[in-house]
Amino acid sequence: MSTITGLHCWPGSLVRAFSSSLLPATCCMCGFPGARVGLDLCAICIALLPPDAVQAEYCPPVFSSMLVPFKYAYPVDRFIRSLKFRGERLYARVLGTLLADAQRKLGAPPPQFLIPVPLHSSRYRERGFNQAHELARFAAAGLGIRVDHCSLARLVPTKEQSGLSVQERRRNVRGAFRAVLRQPIEHVALVDDVLTTGNTATAAAEALHAAGVGRIELWAIARVAHAVHPRLEHL
Contacting residues for 75 by C-beta, under 8 A, at least 6 apart = 29, 45, 48, 49
State residue 25's pLDDT score: 80
State residue 55's pLDDT score: 60
State residue 33's pLDDT score: 85
CA 152 – CA 213 distance, rounded (Å): 11
Mean pLDDT by 10 residues, the chain (235 residues): 42 45 76 82 93 75 94 96 93 96 94 96 88 97 96 78 53 79 92 90 94 96 67 44
Ranges for all domains in the chain classified under CATH 3.40.50: 49-223
Neighbours of 154 (CB within 10 A): 23
Handedness of CA 30, 33, 38, 39 (dihedral sign): negative
Q: How buried is 12 (Cβ within 10 angstroms: 0-12 exposed, 13-18 middle, 19+ buried)?
A: exposed
State residue 197's pLDDT score: 81
What CATH fold (topology level) applies to the domain 49-223? Rossmann fold (3.40.50)
State residue 162's pLDDT score: 53
